[in-house]
Amino acid sequence: MAAKRNSAGSKQPRQAGASSKAAQEPSLSLERIVATAVELLDTQGIDGLTMRRLADRLGAGAMSLYWHVDNKENVFDLALDSVLAYREPRQTSKTRDWRQDVVHMVEDWRACMLRHPWSASLLPRRALGPNILGRLELLGKTLSGAGVADADLNAGIWSLWNYVMGATITRGSFDLSDDDRAAAQQRLTDLSQRYPTIERSRLLLDDDWDGAFRKGLDFLLDGIAPRPGKARQS
Amino acid sequence: MAAKRNSAGSKQPRQAGASSKAAQEPSLSLERIVATAVELLDTQGIDGLTMRRLADRLGAGAMSLYWHVDNKENVFDLALDSVLAYREPRQTSKTRDWRQDVVHMVEDWRACMLRHPWSASLLPRRALGPNILGRLELLGKTLSGAGVADADLNAGIWSLWNYVMGATITRGSFDLSDDDRAAAQQRLTDLSQRYPTIERSRLLLDDDWDGAFRKGLDFLLDGIAPRPGKARQS
DNA sequence: GCTCAACTCGTACGCTGTACGACAGATGAC
DNA sequence: GTCATCTGTCGTACAGCGTACGAGTTGAGC
């Protein structure tokens, strides 16, 4: 094709020569582009990110972005993965229960995505970046160390992944605005006789998301590796 | 605020008078619009649905759609809900295990969404239509009937919902093309030393999606309402 | 001084959703 | 009969989008 061979490798911008010119505009770089994209996504939402706006914020022309980035999809990929980095807690896993480790990682995962609500609705259609793979790896290692059978390992990893994805996406899409909330409540009480159980349990109004998340996570972990002492309920 | 008061109520198109004119074009109606939208989404994907294309397929002008529909978002809402209708199986639940009921409904749910892959990535940002609410209601009723405590009910419903959402979205986004698949495999073996557990368990290459889904669902249900006989593994 | 690569950016194209207003045909009032 | 009104269709236009293309600028190496 033309010049340009790039496709999201790391980049060093030319020194941005501090000699002759003004040289205070730090010039474009992949890092700045991604950071600004995240900023824009955070403040303006998913539709708020346009190449022109992004370039504006960077003090550059729209087409300049395309030197560093293949296309808009690529910007999404990079922004998403950049937001999902995970630092394991300091303690070695020997001092902690494996269950604690999983819960910590998964809750942190959810927290990351809720901090950047666009990430949840983006993740489904994006490729797996290194940070995401890292989390999956960690999850697998921990479960495996916890004695989950190899035959159950993938199902265990995926079910946790699915759970986090589902929970985060749902959460992100539910509390968008008070207007929506009021409308939902209205519609619900209108239809309360058609959906008596939902109405009775106040499913759509309950806003203890964190508690529900934790509880469901416990259900799932109980299923993956049953706790010996867990009593049968009901 | 001109004429037009509509907002997705049911509609009867005017008789489409079979008298004087040609009268073979069935004329526009909400039902035809939604059905055609689903068709278009199925064949062309989410970006393939544009108001102009939709109108073309219906033999109408683009702006005519707006008499029946508020805007494009509305089309998405209607298409999504129309695809998620659920018919309960014939047997009364008395003859079946509650667990069977839940599994049946949840697997059907997943099947519906996989049949229309766009639905998974759409659902997160859409309002809850009557068919979706119906499924939640059924889920709640069944769990409640199975003896799940009221305090656990919402967490149970949501965790199943989350699981289905996550699984479907993930599934839908993973097997898009063989190219992607090959690329992923390549990247993975490149990085096999960074992600040994994933590599070993062949997490990304395992394509028994149905089996993994069922297995994870069992984990979750075991957690929600433990089976008495389930032996501790490991 | 020249060449080449790295980088920036103005212009333009085809596409999008939809506001607006013109228009046609059927219906009901008088 | 005729006129107003309501229902429904659609052509035009506009602002905004992603990005192809090619020209322009800069600095390093020779």
pLDDT digits (tens, 9 = 90+) for B23-73: 345 688 999 999 999 999 999 999 999 999 999 999 999 999 999 999 999
Which CATH fold topology does B25-83 show?
Arc Repressor Mutant, subunit A (1.10.10)
Which one of B157, B164, B223 has the shortest CB-CB distance to A203? B157
> What is residue A125's DSSP assignment?
G
Q: Give B38-42's long-range contacts (Cβ < 8 A, gap of 24+).
A: B38/B79, B38/B82, B38/B83, B38/B116, B41/B79, B41/B116, B41/B118, B42/B116, B42/B118
Residues 6 or more apart from A208 whose CB is under 8 A from it? none
Residue in chain A nearest B159 by alpha carbon: A216
Give the whole-angstrom CA distance, residue B163 versus residue B171. Answer: 12
Give the whole-angstrom CA distance, residue B230 versus residue B226. Answer: 8
Give the whole-angstrom CA distance, residue B9 versus residue B69. Answer: 10
B51, B57 in Cβ contact below 8 A? no
Q: For A49-73, what is each residue's pLDDT tens digit? A: 999 999 999 999 999 999 999 999 9
With 60 as the cut, is the pLDDT of residue A93 above it?
no
Does any strand D atom come closer than 7 Å to the Cβ of A14? Answer: yes
Closest-CA distance of chain A to residue B220, Å: 5
B170, A165 in Cβ contact below 8 A? yes
CA angle at B120 for the pair B119 and B125, rounded to the nearest 5°: 85
Task: Find which of B114, B159, B208, B213 to mutate to test the A interface (most A CBs within 10 Å of its CB).
Answer: B159
Question: pLDDT tier at A21 (50, 70, 90 boundaries)?
Answer: very low
Strand, coil or helix: what is B27? coil
* Separation of first and last alpha carbons in chain B: 66
User: With 0-12 CB in 10 A as exposed, 13-18 as middle and 19+ as buried, what is B76?
Assistant: buried
Q: Tokens 């968008």 map to which residue?
A: A176
Give the whole-angstrom CA distance, residue A88 versus residue B14. Answer: 65
B221, A233 in Cβ contact below 8 A? no
Q: For B113-128, what is each residue's pLDDT tens digit? A: 999 989 987 876 676 7
